Chain A
């Protein structure tokens, strides 16, 4: 997972495999709560799985600020980028 496309694919993989969502419904602009109907249990679930894949822990405040799939991608990218710098 080094670039935004790969991160998006990882997020899609998790949402498709674990959350039984349709891959086509998970786009960058998709809204997590309004369109995918994710709740805070899902957010914790997703955070634990993302931590496993990216090696970076997400903070609770960061989770609360997430609104779209793109927000997740940017957050994980920033964490990976930060650790490379």
Chain B
């Protein structure tokens, strides 16, 4: 990854005051005034974030090329809309976490599958992405009364997390702190799965611990590296893999989709590697499908197709 993700940079650029200000505004003035302020903040970031802007444009052009919708190539206006969508997503996130989730309608495709996976009690790995809102899914899990564990790197987005922790200290969410250098993480995930819980992992961004385990596959018409960690754990532990995405359809409506990528039946040792690769391929294909559906909602503002990590086999030899 050549560029830090947007919100890491937001943090680095010391905008926590701005974001806290937006939260305070929401509480004080409500939605309309806050929306105006959020637009001002995101305009500032759009204007001052050259590398992010270029990455956004390159991504939108790939989508445009593949969608076959015709018309003009995306330009700065579309790129601004891409940034704006990130602001709206944070805005909704603040609303979710302020306990205003009731203001949102959640349409749910795949409810039966989701309920079956929970009822089976085998646990599951939920693979998500930076497309749409993962928080809308958390809201759904909250309504369904299930525990969701989210695997995350704690040095990542500390700004947003600290703000949301302040806002909602008793949320139904457990964070598993990913330690890239230790097997503790895998062990912790396993014990959660064995209790029949769900463990959510975002699988479209390479984190420090992933460098040795990447798999390169087609995404939006070009090869890109994906981390294999989530799929490797699911294969080792023999649990189902469910892909979930929550797309913002309008200001008060999210459409959440849950779909099965793998039942989690046992895979023999010799087939494991290929099985993991196939899961990454399935995931990338589904992510592509939803990116084409809502292009502005993929919040990865860096060169996703970078070859900086090199073409690695999915997992290096142990030696």
Contacts and interface: CB of A to CB of B under 8 A. Distances in A.
B190 A44 contact: no
B48 interface: no
A36 B190 CA distance: 25
B195 to A, nearest CB: 15
A20 B317 contact: no
A63 interface: yes
B186 interface: yes
Contacts of B116: none
A7 interface: no
Contacts of B190: 48
B181 A43 contact: no
- Which size class do B's interface residues fall under? 20 to 34
A64 B232 CA distance: 17
A37 to B, nearest CB: 9
A59 B236 contact: no
A67 to B, nearest CB: 6
A41 B319 contact: no
Given A48-B236, A59-B181, A60-B182, A39 B187 contact: no
Contacts of A16: none
A40 B315 contact: yes
B180 interface: yes
Contacts of A58: 182-183
Contact of B318 (A20, A33, A48, A59): A33
3 pairs of A and B residues whose beta carbons are closest in the complex: A43-B318, A57-B184, A47-B183
Interface of B: 180-184, 186-187, 190, 209, 212-213, 232, 235-236, 269, 272-273, 276, 315-319
